[in-house]
Structure 1
Amino acid sequence: MLGIHWFIIVTVIVLYIQRKVYIKYGLHNIEYERYFSDETAFVGDEIHMVECISNKKLLPVPWLRLESRIDPGLKFQSQEDLDIKYGEYHKSFFSMGSYKKITRRHRIKCAKRGFYSLNSAVITCGDVLGMEETCKDIELSANLLVYPEIIRVEEIPFPVHNWLGEIAVRRWIVEDPFMISGVRDYNCGDPLNQINWNATARSGEIMVHKLEHTSSPSLMIYLNVDDSENVLGYVVNRDIIEKGITYAASIAHYALSKGIETGFGSNGYTVEHPKQVVRVAPGVGSEQLKLLLEVMARMVVAQSKAFSTFVEEDIFSGVTNRDYLFITCHVDEDIMSKIARLKSMGNSVEIIRLSPESSRDKDVDSYGKQVV
């Protein structure tokens, strides 16, 4: 009988000691790291999130729980050691022996474009019986940039092939009045303001300026994040704007592959620069494509200013000889007046009208005017 009492007393003492030991030293020399297998990906790609945890001490840890929030735009495949609630609250469970390291690779599908930053987590451990536990916050640095999906331009409700082909041809056959390469004989129909009077006086015959052809094609894609004419700028249908971003990325990818200078702008903003409009000047090459995709990936679907005000900035800066593509859910009178101004300055404007079916608006011509 006395032996049973001693056994109970010793057991209680041991449990008490181990509880104190694990509460004080359980998380000591526990190191945790999390990172993605790739820094960038496209919507639909599968990558891995890698977890590495090390117990750098003699004391084994019977259980560890790691909790964090991960955006539901990253879809995890279910597995036994990973608990996911509501699509975004993640728990990983570990059991660590002395001086042991565990590495796990979780397969993830990138379901939505965006900038994903996993910068913190909570790690918890406790005694053998789980009667008491302790936890601490840990800082992480795992970032992933998911680019918009690139689709075939044939899937876009707009004749991209023909339109970009017209741009390329038109730019090389139209003379630029500001690029003078010499003089030539006067031809019937030449405007009087192109007469070179000095050359005319020297030769005794009427001579006019010889003009170079205009510069390489320059395309600017503008996305309007307003899904209605709501003056408050609140976006209700975010999915339709996301479709617009997919169209913008796909057209930019195709145009750049054809050597056309391409830029992008929006009255939305990026995660790093709240309330500051997005505007990337036209450029060419793979670095330009990378820049455009990064900007589109970081975009927030929310208004920084009215789209008409955004477009007006180009009018004030005197932009000319540029081809614009507006991707928008609606075209009001204010926007149409800005389109008319851009056209009068020597620019062209085309419109992709976003709708639930994303069909091109057949009642709007190349310059956004209603056809009657």
Structure 2
Amino acid sequence: MGIHWYIISAVLVMLLQRFIFRRFVMRKVSYSRSFNVQSCFEGDSVEMVERLVNDKLIPVPWLRVESILHTGLKFQSDANFDVSSGQFLQNHRSLFSLTGKKQLTRRHSVHAAQRGCYRVTSASLTFGDLFGMFSAWRSVPLQVELLVYPQPVDRELLQLPSRSWQGDIAVRRWIAEDPFVISGVRAYRSGDSLKMINWNATARTGNLQVHRRDYTADYRLTVLLNVEDHAGMWDAVNDTSMIEHGIRLAAGILQYATEQGLETGFACNGHELDVPGKVMKVERGGGSEHLTYLYEQLAKLVIFRTLPFHTMLEQLEAEWDEPGDLVIISAFMSEGIQSMMARLRERGHAVDWLPIAERGAEAV
């Protein structure tokens, strides 16, 4: 009879633990995930941090966490972390086991191999009892985002167009009167505003005198990127690696121009990740914060043609009231693009074309 009681007792214990774990194992259990930075550049290494908290006395025998991410982030597998990678997506599986009132933190090394906006919106948690008599799962919402900026092309490899917006030449070209800086008086000329008259100097000399305004440099540069990889293409882009290089060229020019003190803008016939169907456009601005915003937009740029490039140029032409410097980054030159470049030049814009090439770009 003894062995029968052992068997019956063992079955009762197994059933009891099954009941307890099934009902209470996931109570007061929380899971979170984050990156140690909000943004980085292509080629950087970051950390993904997983935190699991069991805020009750009953242990968690085993818990498997699974989630999906793009393959642009490269993870290193270890004993408790496994990665199954496909062409575009990869599945992550983490295995945990916690005693009561325990918190566990794991850090995973991640290589940001490709530009993009990487988001994790949920994770699947599968759990069970000690003896594998039952298993269940639930979905946990997450709000995790990592922006990977494009790596700007090396300055030595970036053959910039020899235009006026480079360095001190820009000061001599985009020269304009600054209404807030007064350097003296001069004689009135036809066309001067009455608001400019210096009445004290006029009374003293007996002739109309106006304020002389000092001069300041006004720099304007807009980078225009074409996501079409060949003439006559439809919406889908075949050679995305070529366009990725074009994005790095754009990042390099925007970085260089901002460091030179220019106001920079950007437009592309692709679209932002969260705004499909609309071309990406960033108005001109200056300073490091504006450059960071440009990097963020480039990270979120989806390589999918929203409009033909020459059509986008035609729309932008109507919005530009003042002339400026324009740099077109495109893998090819078509009749439509050439026609729009001619129209823009007639309106006073300085237009350059940088063809996308594997080892850099040469100005034309």
Give the TM-score normalised by the residue count of structure 2.
Answer: 0.86
Aligned to 2:110: 108
Pair 1:23-2:25 in alignment? no
Query: For 2:267, which of 265, 268, 289 is the aligned residue?
Result: 265
Match status 1:140 vs 2:142: yes
Alpha-carbon displacement from aligned partner over 1:256-315 (angstroms, at most 9, x marks no partner): 011011111101110111111111121111111111111111110111111101111122
- CA deviations over 1:143-182 (Å, ceiling 9, x no partner): 111111123221124457986237514424x678xxxx99
Partner of residue 240, structure 1:
242
What does residue 301 of structure 1 align with?
A: 303
Q: Which residue of 2 aligns with 1:328?
A: 330
Structure 1 unaligned residues grouped into runs of 5+: 187-193, 199-209, 366-372
Structure 2 stretches of 5 or more lacking a match? 195-211
Letter in 2 for 1:11: A
* Alpha-carbon separation, structure 1, partners of 2:350 and 2:169: 10
Q: Is the 8 A contact 1:268 1:301 kept in 2?
A: yes
SS at match of 1:165: coil
Mapped to 1, the partners of 2:315 and 2:288 lie a distance apart of 28
What does the per-residue CA deviation read over 1:96-146, in whole Å, with 9 as the maximum and x for residues that have no partner? 101111011111111111111111001111111223201100011111111
> In the alignment, is the contact (CA less than 8 A) between 1:73 and 1:112 conserved in 2?
yes
Aligned to 2:139, the other structure's residue is in SS state strand
Do 2:157 and 2:360's aligned partners in 1 also have CA atoms closer than 8 Å? no
Equivalent residue in structure 1 for 2:170, among 157, 163, 168: 168
Question: 1:46 aligned to 2:48?
Answer: no
Q: 1:216 pairs with 209, 212, 218, which one?
A: 218
* Cα distance in 2 for residues equivalent to 1:238 and 1:211: 50
Q: Does 1:229 align with 2:231?
A: yes
Change (3 A) 1:26 1:260: same
Structure holding more strand per residue: 2
Task: Give 1:58-69 correspondences, 5 Å limit.
Answer: 58-69=57-68
Instruction: Measure, in 2, the Cα distance between the counterparts of 1:48 and 1:81.
Output: 16
Residue 214 of structure 1 and its aligned partner are, at CA, apart by 8.0
Equivalent position of 1:156 in the other structure = 158
Cα distance change on mapping 1:117 and 1:132 into 2, 3 Å: same
CA distance in 2: counterparts of 1:183 and 1:153, whole angstroms:
45
2:156 aligns to what SS in structure 1? Answer: helix
1:203-258 C-alpha deviation (Å, 9 max, x unpaired)? xxxxxxx9986851200000001111234222001111111111111111111011
Shift of 1:41: 1.1
- Kindly provide the amino acid, as one letter, of the partner of residue 122 in structure 2: S
Letter in 2 for 1:235: V
**Where does 1:114-133 land on structure 2 (aligned, <5 Å)?**
114-133=116-135
How many Å separate the matches in 1 of 2:158 and 2:100? 58
Contact 2:242 2:358 (8 Å CA) reproduced: yes
**Secondary structure at the counterpart of residue 11 of structure 1:** helix
Distance 1:6 1:258, change over 3 A: same
Q: Is the 8 A contact 2:165 2:221 kept in 1?
A: no
Give the direction of change, closer, same or farther, for the CA distance of 1:80–1:242 in structure 2 (3 Å limit): same
Please name the residue that 1:72 is paired with. 71
Contact kept, 8 Å, 1:74 with 1:112, in 2: the verdict is yes
Q: Is the 8 A contact 1:42 1:146 kept in 2?
A: yes
Counterpart code for 1:19 = R
Any idea what the Cα deviations from partners look like across 1:176-201, whole Å, max 9, x if unmatched?
8xxxx997799xxxxxxx888x9xxx
Give yes or no for contact 2:47–2:108 (8 Å, CA) kept in 1: yes
1:317 aligns with one of 308, 315, 319: 319
Q: Does residue 1:95 correspond to 2:94, yes or no?
A: no
Residue type of the alignment partner of 1:30 = V
Is the 8 Å Cα contact of residues 226 and 329 (structure 1) preserved in structure 2? yes
Amino acid corresponding to residue 99 of structure 2 in structure 1: G
The 3 A distance-change label for structure 1 pair 245 and 356 is same
Deviation digits for residues 335-366 of structure 1, max 9, x if unmatched? 100000000000011111113444427xxx4x
Counterpart Cα distance in 2 of 1:314 and 1:212: 32
CA deviations over 1:24-57 (Å, ceiling 9, x no partner): 2221111111111111111111111111101111
Tell me what 1:254 maps to. Answer: 256
CA distance in 2, matches of 1:251, 1:281: 16
CA RMSD of aligned residues (A): 3.1
Q: Distance in 2 between matches of 1:236 and 1:246?
A: 18
Using the alignment, how far apart are the partners of 1:227 and 1:313 within structure 2?
A: 21
- What is the aligned residue count? 346
For residues 273 and 112 of structure 1, what CA distance do their matches in structure 2 show?
21
CA contact (8 A) 1:120 1:139 kept: yes
Structure 1 Cα separation of the partners of residues 105 and 23 of structure 2: 25
1:153–1:160 Cα contact (<8 Å) kept:
no
Name which of structure 1's ranges 126-135 and 299-308 shifts more when overlaid on structure 2: 126-135
